[in-house]
Amino acid sequence: PQTLQTLSGLRFSAATAAFQIEGARTLGGRGRSIWDDFVDAPGNVIDGSTADPGPDSYHRSAEDAALLSGLGVDRYRFSISWVRTIPDGKPGATPNAAGLDHYDRVVDELLAAGVTPEPTLYHWDLPSGLEAEGGWLNRDTVHRFGEHVEAVANRLGDRVHHWYTINEPASTSLQGYALGELAPGRTMLFDALPSVHHQLLAHGTAATILREHGARQVAAAINHSLILPETDAESDHRAAATLDLIYNRLFADPLLLGEYPDLEELDEQMPIHDGDMELISAPCEVYGLNYYNPTTVRSVNEGPLPFEMVPTPDAATTGFGPLWPIRPDTLRDLLIDMRTRYGPTLPPIVISENGASFPEPEVCTEPVRDDDRIAYLHDHLLAVSEAVEAGVSVAGYTVWSLLDNFEWAYGYTQRFGLVHVNMDTGQRTPKSSYEWYRDLIASVRA
C-alpha cells in the first residue's frame, strides 16, 4: 500500500536467538547456560521441551541463509552464544575454537547470500558458572562478558560491522531476577535492580570493545511497552507511571540521558561507580527497540507490587491470550513519546523486534496461511510509518522471527515464524507471511 512508501529508507531484517534456534546443546564444546539449567529442571517449560534439537540451526544455518536471501532482507539479527565462545565463562579462559568456527561459518554464509549479519552478543544464555557467582547481580559478570565480546570481535570484526550488545535487559531483570518466570528463575523483586545496572554496563563495555574493532553500528535491543492505566482513576495513573518507570525509563534514561530516573519511590539505589554513566550513555548510531504490545495496569494495595497487569479492553489478542493485546496504535504512540522524552539525544530508532504468535499446527502438510500474522505486521508497519510522518526518525524494522522456535518458558507452544518449522524433523516451510514480507520489502524498494 501507498502509505508504506514512507518506509523506503528503512533497513529490513528478521531476527532469531541462539538458544531458541540452534539445538546442539552438547556439541562443539558448548558449555552450560542458565537456560540449560532452566529447561532441564522439570516444570519450568510448559510443554517440557528443551530447545534441542528444535529448529536445529546449528546444522541448518545454510538453509536459514537461503531463506533470508529469498526474503530479500537487508540484514539478519541472530545471536552468538556466550557458552559456545567461552563455555564456562571463567576469567582468562582460552576461547573455544569450535564455537568461534561455527559463527565464522554462519557469517560467511550470510555474506555469500547477500545478507548483512547483525549479531547480538547476549540473548540470555549466561554461563551457569557465572550465575553461581551472582550472575548479573555481580559486577564481575560485566568483565567476563567483555572477554566474550573481545573473542568474538577478534574473530568476526573484519566482516561484521553491525552489532547488538544485550537483548531485553528488562525481561532479564524483571522476569528473570525479580519474578522468576524466566532463567535464572530468581524471585528477588526490587532487590533485582543491580542486574539492570550491570547489564547496561555490559552494553557500554561491549560498545567500547566493538568500536575498537571498527564497528559501524552498535546498539542494545531494549524492550519497551506503552503502559496504559485501566481506568482514569488517579491511583491507576500512578500505577501506570510506576510501571513505566521500571519498564521503560529505567533503561532508556541511562542510555540516552546518562542518568537513572528518580528511584526514590522504589527505595533502592543502583551500584554506580565513577565513570559508569558515561560508559552506559556513550552515543550510539541507532537505538534498538523491541515492541510487541501495550501493558494495561490497575493499582493494587496489597502484595509485593503496587500494580497488577490486566487485559487491555477491546483489543484482539495473540496466541498468548489476554495479556498480549494487539494494539498497533500504541507502537506509534510509544515512538512519538520516545521522541518527546529524549529529543535530540535520541538517535534514529531501529525496531529490533516486532511480531506475534498465533495457534498453528506442529506439522504442516501445506504452507500455513497466517493472515493474522500478516495483519499484525502490516498494521505495526503502518504505525511505524505514521510515527515517521510525525517526525520520528526510524532507520530499520525487524520481524521476530524468521523461524518458529523455542519460546522460552512456553517451549514450542507459541510460533512466531515467517517460516514454519517441524520440531521433530527440522523441516522448514515458508508461511504466507514470508511471501508477504518479501513482497513488501520489494515494493517499498521499487
Q: Which residues does the annotation mark as catalytic?
A: 353
Name the residue nearer to ligand GCO (CB basis): 167 or 217: 167
Contact between 22 and ligand GCO per CB under 6 A: no
CA dist 198 and 272 (Å) reads 9
Of 7, 10, 17, 215, which one interacts with ligand GCO (CB under 6 A)?
A: 17
Shortest approach of ligand GCO to residue 402 CB, angstroms? 12
- Contact between 291 and ligand GCO per CB under 6 A: no
Which range binds ligand GCO by CB under 6 A, 45-53, 143-151, 166-174, 297-305?
Answer: 166-174
Shortest reach from residue 20's CB to ligand GCO, in Å: 6
CB of 114 to ligand GCO, least distance (A): 25
Q: Segment near ligand GCO (CB under 6 A), from 90-98, 164-172, 298-306, 418-426?
A: 164-172
| Shortest separation between residue 14's beta carbon and ligand GCO, angstroms | 13
Determine which helix (DSSP H) or strand (DSSP E) holds 105, and give its type and residue range. Answer: helix 97-112
CB of 152 to ligand GCO, least distance (A): 19
- Tell me which residues in 260-279 interact with ligand GCO (CB under 6 A): none
User: Quick one: 260 or 416, whose CB is closer to ligand GCO?
Assistant: 416
Determine the longest span between alpha carbons in the chain, in angstroms: 59
Closer to ligand GCO by Cβ: residue 260 or 324: 324
Distances (CA, A) of 255 to 29, 105, 166, 397: 35, 33, 12, 20
Q: Which three three-digit cell numbers place residue 6?
A: 514512507
Q: Which cell is 268 given?
A: 533502592
Interface residue with ligand GCO among 103, 251, 287, 400 (CB under 6 A) is: 400
**Interface residue with ligand GCO, options 171, 235, 422, 427 (CB under 6 A):** 171
Per rule CB under 6 A, is residue 13 in the interface with ligand GCO?
no
User: What letter would DSSP give residue 403?
Assistant: B
Q: How many residues bind ligand GCO (CB under 6 A)?
A: 10
Q: Is 407 a residue that touches ligand GCO (CB under 6 A)?
A: yes
Distance of CA 240 to the CA centre of its chain: 23
Member of 22, 150, 168, 404 binding ligand GCO (CB under 6 A): 168
Q: Please name the helix (run of DSSP H) or strand (run of DSSP E) that holds residue 307, with its range, or none.
A: strand 307-310
Residue whose CB is less far from ligand GCO, 78 or 400: 400
Residue 350 is a binding residue for ligand GCO (CB under 6 A)? no
What is the rounded CA–CA span in Å between residue 431 and residue 428?
9
Buried b (16+ CB within 10 A) or exposed e, 181-218: ebbbbbebbeebbbbbbbbbbbbbbbbebbeebebebb
Identified binder of ligand GCO from the candidate list 22, 236, 353, 372, rule CB under 6 A: 353
247 is a contact residue toward ligand GCO (CB under 6 A): no
Among residues 400 and 437, whose Cβ is nearest to ligand GCO?
400
β-strands 321-325, 317-318 pairing = antiparallel
* DSSP state letters, 31-63: --BHHHHHHHSTTSSTT---SSSTT-HHHHHHH
Does residue 120 contact residue 76 with C-beta atoms inside 8 Å? no
Question: Are residues 251 and 222 in contact, defined by beta-carbon separation less than 8 angstroms?
Answer: yes
Q: What length does the chain have? A: 446
Shortest distance in whole angstroms from residue 209 CB to ligand GCO:
22
Say whether residue 358 binds ligand GCO (CB under 6 A): no
Residue (145 or 400) nearer to ligand GCO, CB = 400
Shortest distance (Å) from residue 317 CB to ligand GCO: 14
Is 381 within 8 Å of 439 (Cβ atoms)?
Answer: no
Q: Is 136 near ligand GCO (CB under 6 A)?
A: no
Quick one: which segment of 81-89, 167-175, 309-317, 436-444 binds ligand GCO (CB under 6 A)? 167-175
Label residues 309-330 b or e (16+ Cβ within 10 Å = b). beebeeeebbbbeeebbbbbeb
Q: For ligand GCO, which is the closer residue by CB, 69 or 171? A: 171
Q: Which residues contact 20 (CB under 8 A, 6 or more apart)?
A: 51, 54, 55, 123, 401, 405, 406, 407, 408
The closest residue (CB) to ligand GCO is 168
Q: What is the DSSP letter of 305?
A: S
Question: What residues numbered 416-445 form the site for ligand GCO, per CB under 6 A?
Answer: 416
Q: Which three cell numbers stand for residue 158?
A: 573484519
Q: Which is nearer to ligand GCO, 292 or 299 (CB)?
A: 292
- Residue from 167, 293, 296, 330 touching ligand GCO (CB under 6 A): that is 167
CA distances 190 to 177, 179, 186, 195, 328, Å, are 9, 10, 11, 10, 31
Amino acid at the residue 298:
R
Residues that bind ligand GCO (CB under 6 A): 17, 20, 167-168, 171, 290, 353, 400, 407, 416
